Amino acid sequence: MKIVGPTIVRPWRERIAATITPTEAAAVLDSLCLFRVLDPACGCGNFLYVAYRELRSLESEAKARIVSLARSTGLPAPDVSSRFFALRNLQGIEIEEITALLARVTL
C-alpha cells in the first residue's frame, strides 16, 4: 500500500471526485478499466494482488459516483454494469518459474 496508495489509488480517487456529471464519471470509469499495471519483478504477485484489489474498489467508487451524480443532477445515469477492471490489465515479469506460477495462483 505504500506504493499502490500514492501512485494508483490517490490519483484515481481524485479524478473520480472531480467529476461533475454522470457522463464525465462514466468516462473516468472507462479510463480506469483500461488502466494497466506492470510489475517488472513480480515475485509471488503480492503487489499485483494489492493493486487489483484497490482498482476493483475504485471501480465500485466510480460506479457509486455515477449513480450519485445522476440522482443529484437529474441527468440519466449511463449503463455501466458491464464495465469492469479486467485481470488481464495486470502484468508481471518474473524469471523464476515457480514464483511466476505462484503469482498466477495469487491473481
DSSP class per residue in the chain:
-TTHIIIIIHHHHHHHHT--SHHHHHHHHHHHHH--EEETT-TTSHHHHHHHHHHHHHHHHHHHHHHHHHHHH-PPPP--TT----GGGEEE--S-HHHHHHHHHH-
pTM of the model: 0.90
Here the cell at position 93 is 515479469
Average pLDDT, the chain: 94
pLDDT, tens only, 53-62: 999 999 999 9
pLDDT, tens only, 10-32: 999 999 999 999 999 999 999 99
In this predicted structure, which of 42-46, 58-62, 74-78, 98-102 has the lowest mean pLDDT? Answer: 74-78
On the question of pLDDT at 81 being above 90, the answer is: no
